[in-house]
């Protein structure tokens, strides 16, 4: 059995659906379990309509509430795909009525809970699974759409960040192996025991694929996207980025955690536990070999990537009492935990701790509590840059080179940290410097420019 996950980038138009179906057809002998995301951009639209429905009632000049326009767009995108595929619009209409009613409810009540957000977002995957299954049937494959919960994908009730329950893998395995059709299931979403639809968090269908892959003990978990694998940097940012042939689980985990959007940060965990290789492939160029992420004895060389994570908040705490006060750090972490804030990077000195946070929700309350025993400075608009690679463990002086490269580019490093894994070097700069910094580092470390003077470029990684 193999898991084939197709992201929104592989499901944006009728043509992409047709290509995706053809890719699946090539692999029938390996018994694929197909996992899909919503049509590209659809989750954003579904969430946007919810936010818009919360806005004030109609102004006298307005003919219809804003959310209904977004809903029309949602309709049109699916209608165009289905018409171009010569598939019946009913595949979409069976969901549309319910979806319209939910938005109307939000509009009337002016209430949008995390639970309702997950519910609205879930329609994207539910619809795209039906469309892909119909495309597969049309080319003679006995495929059927099946919502993840009908495959046993039962989660906690943590809306927006749901976790698979511990007894679910066993159920998934049992159900999936008993199916007499090729399943096209919904990534990103699940259902709780209480019957609520949940989501795993944005970009979560990679994680769904990996969880399902681990449950069914797949031979490989394939992540099909719009680039030919994991690259030395985001190609949208660095056009010269190169595709990596392979990398270790740990490297993949580090780079996805620090901003490489290509994989959801938690994707690797279930694969590591079950020792299942992950293969990242390009649905636009299926002939390209892709990037293979493997567990054991991976001897990748060199630095493998530089990533950028934008819109990060940085919190600096100063307290002269820090050194003498045992438990100071745990007190700080407790406060963030209490307010549901997760911390990405930490750097400490005797009188200062700097932390970066993924999102600022709940920060004001945490700030008030922290101010009781420390001076708190919050800096918004920061970016985390992360260099990843086994070489950070064994090559001295890389940090020095980073300082020089960024100094020459007039970029100030505000915080620096080397993770416990020692394969990442992470630092914080102003958001406005983020892209420039990534390009400068990529040029020096990954492109054959001035390498005699700087880092020894290693061809063997690619
Ligand atoms: P999907 O819809 O298939 O899940 P995503 O948009 O989530 O696709 O992820 C693919 C995108 O990730 C690519 O188009 C690319 O711009 C971006 N990306 C960011 N960092 C990297 C990287 N290091 N290597 C490859 N792609 C990256
Ligand atoms: N459709 C979801 C999102 O846009 C999940 C995913 O694409 O992985 O976040
Ligand atoms: Mg994605």
pLDDT digits 0-9 by tens, 237-258: 999 999 999 998 888 988 888 8
Task: Indicate which atom in ligand 1 lies nearest the CA of residue 305.
Answer: 23
Per-residue pLDDT for 96 more than 70? yes
Given a contact cutoff of 8 angstroms between Cβ atoms, the answer to whether 28 and 181 are in contact is no
Which pLDDT belongs to residue 396? 75
Atom number in ligand 2 closest to CA 206: 8
Q: What is the mean pLDDT of residues 113-136?
A: 98
Could you read off the pLDDT of 154-202 as tens digits, one per residue?
999 999 999 999 999 999 999 999 999 999 999 999 999 999 999 999 9
pLDDT for the residue numbered 416: 86
| Residue ranges covered by each domain of the chain | 2-226, 302-461
pLDDT digits (tens, 9 = 90+) for 118-127: 999 999 999 9
For the entire predicted model, the pTM comes to 0.90
| Residue 227, both tokens | 């680039």
* Any ligand 2 atom below 6 A from CB of 204: yes
Residue 242 CB coordination number (10 Å): 18
List the structure tokens of 197. 């639809």
DSSP, res 8: G
- Residue 101 is inside which H or E element, if any? helix 90-109
Q: What is the pLDDT of residues 206-218, one digit of tens each?
A: 999 999 999 999 9
For residue 112, the number of C-alpha atoms closer than 13 Å in the C-beta half-sphere is: 20
Instruction: Report the C-alpha dihedral over residues 174, 125, 65, 51, rounded to 10 degrees.
Output: 80
What pLDDT is attached to residue 299? 61
Pairwise pLDDT comparison (115 vs 462), residue with the higher score: 115
Question: pLDDT (tens digit, 9 = 90+) per residue, 329-375?
Answer: 888 889 988 888 888 888 877 778 889 987 777 888 999 999 988 89
Q: Whose CA is nearest to atom 5 of ligand 1?
A: 262
Q: Name the residue of 8, 124, 126, 209 to mutate for ligand 2: max ligand atoms within 8 A of Cβ.
A: 8
Residue 408's CB is within 10 A of a number of other CB atoms, namely: 10
Q: What is the fold of 2-226?
A: Carbamate kinase (3.40.1160)
Q: What is the dihedral of CA 310, 35, 87, 84, to 10 degrees?
A: 40
3-state secondary structure of 164: strand
Token pair listed for 41: 């951009």
CA angle at residue 115 from 112 to 119, to 5 degrees?
Answer: 95
Question: Which runs of E-coded beta strand occur in 391-443?
Answer: 415-418, 424-430
Q: Any idea which ligand is nearest the CA of 126? A: 2
Please work out whether the CB of residue 261 comes within 6 Å of at least one atom of ligand 2. Answer: no
DSSP state of 229: S
**Tokens for 26?**
């090539």
SS3 407: helix
Do 231 and 244 meet the contact criterion of CB atoms below 8 Å apart? yes
State the closest ligand 2 atom to the C-alpha of 207, by its place in the atom list counted from 1: 8
Provide the pLDDT for residue 14: 98
Task: Tell which atom from ligand 2 comes closest to the C-alpha of 44.
Answer: 4
Residue nearest to atom 2 of ligand 2 (CA): 203
Mean of the per-residue pLDDT values of the chain: 90
Instruction: Find the residues whose C-beta lies inside 6 A of ligand 1.
Output: 7-10, 37, 203, 225-227, 230-231, 233-236, 260-262, 305
Confidence of residue 295 (pLDDT cuts 50, 70, 90): confident
Rounded distance from Cα 38 to ligand 2 centre (Å): 6
CATH entry, 302-461, from 3.30.2130.10, 3.40.1380.10, 3.40.190.80, 1.10.238.10? 3.30.2130.10
The answer, yes or no, to whether residue 261 has pLDDT greater than 70, is yes
Mapping DSSP onto H, E and C, the string for 287-350 reads: CCCCEEEECCCCCCCCCCEEEEEEEEEEEEEECCCCCCCCCHHHHHHHHHHHCCCCEEEEEECC
End-to-end CA distance of the chain: 29
| C-alpha triplet 361, 366, 369: angle, nearest 5° | 165
Token reading at 85:
């595929």
Give me the pLDDT at residue 174, please: 98
Mean pLDDT score, 82-91: 97
Specify which residues 429 forms β-bridges with.
Answer: 383
- Give the C-alpha separation, 262 to 230, whole Å: 7
Atom 8 (ligand 2) nearest CA: 203
Two tokens, residue 130: 């039906």
pLDDT tens, residue by residue, 414-457: 888 876 667 889 989 999 999 999 999 999 999 965 544 444 54
pLDDT over 70 for what percent of the chain?
Answer: 93
Q: Phi and psi at residue 456, in whole multiples of 5°?
A: -80, 110
pLDDT band at 324 (very low <50, low <70, confident <90, very high): low
pLDDT value for 457: 47
Q: How far is the CA of 225 from the centre of ligand 3 (A)?
A: 8
In the reported structure, the alpha carbon of residue 216 is separated from the centroid of ligand 3 by a whole-number distance in angstroms of 22
- Total length of the chain: 462
Nearest to 223 by CA among 6, 383, 50: 6
Quick one: pLDDT at residue 323?
Answer: 56
The Cα 90–Cα 130 span in angstroms is 11
């Amino acid at each position: 059995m193999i898991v084939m996950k197709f992201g929104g980038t592989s499901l944006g138009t009728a043509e992409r659906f047709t290509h995706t179906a053809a890719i699946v057809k090539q692999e029938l002998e390996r018994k694929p379990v197909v996992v899909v995301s919503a049509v590209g951009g659809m989750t954003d639209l579904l969430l946007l309509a919810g936010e818009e429905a919360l806005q004030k009632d109609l102004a006298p000049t307005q003919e219809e509430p804003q959310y209904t326009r977004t809903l029309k767009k949602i309709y049109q995108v699916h209608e165009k795909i289905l018409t171009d595929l010569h598939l019946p619009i009913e595949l979409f209409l069976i969901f549309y009525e319910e979806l319209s009613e939910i938005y109307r409810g939000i509009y009337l009540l002016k209430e949008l809970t995390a639970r309702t957000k997950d519910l609205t977002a879930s329609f994207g995957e539910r619809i795209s699974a039906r469309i892909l299954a119909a495309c597969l049937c049309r080319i003679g494959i006995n495929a059927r759409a099946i919502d993840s919960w009908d495959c046993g994908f039962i989660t906690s009730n943590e809306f927006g960040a749901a976790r698979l329950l511990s007894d679910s893998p066993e159920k998934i395995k049992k159900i999936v192996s008993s199916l007499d059709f090729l399943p096209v299931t919904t990534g990103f979403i699940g259902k709780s025991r209480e019957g609520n639809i949940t989501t795993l968090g944005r970009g979560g269908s990679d994680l769904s694929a990996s969880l399902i892959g681990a449950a069914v003990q797949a031979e490989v978990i394939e992540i099909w996207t719009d680039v030919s694998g994991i690259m030395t940097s985001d190609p949208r940012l660095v056009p010269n980025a190169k595709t990596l042939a392979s990398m270790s689980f740990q490297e993949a985990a580090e780079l996805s955690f620090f901003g490489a959007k290509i994989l959801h940060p938690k994707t690797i965990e279930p694969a590591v536990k079950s020792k299942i290789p992950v293969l990242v492939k390009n649905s636009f160029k299926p002939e390209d070999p892709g990037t293979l992420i493997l567990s054991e004895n991976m001897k990748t060389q060199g630095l493998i990537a530089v990533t950028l994570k934008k819109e990060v908040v940085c919190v600096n705490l100063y307290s002269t009492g820090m050194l003498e006060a045992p438990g100071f750090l745990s007190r700080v972490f407790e406060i963030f935990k209490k307010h549901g804030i997760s911390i990405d990077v930490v750097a400490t000195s005797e009188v200062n701790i700097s932390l970066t946070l993924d999102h600022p929700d709940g920060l004001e309350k945490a700030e008030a509590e922290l101010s009781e025993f420390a001076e708190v400075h919050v800096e918004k608009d920061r970016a985390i840059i992360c260099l990843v690679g086994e070489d950070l463990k064994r090559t001295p002086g890389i940090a020095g080179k980073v300082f020089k490269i960024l100094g020459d580019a007039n970029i100030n490093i505000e915080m620096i940290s080397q993770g416990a894994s020692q394969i990442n070097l992470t630092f914080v700069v102003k958001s406005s410097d983020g892209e420039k910094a990534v390009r400068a580092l990529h040029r020096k470390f990954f492109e054959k420019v001035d390498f005699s003077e700087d880092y020894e470029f290693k061809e063997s990684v690619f």
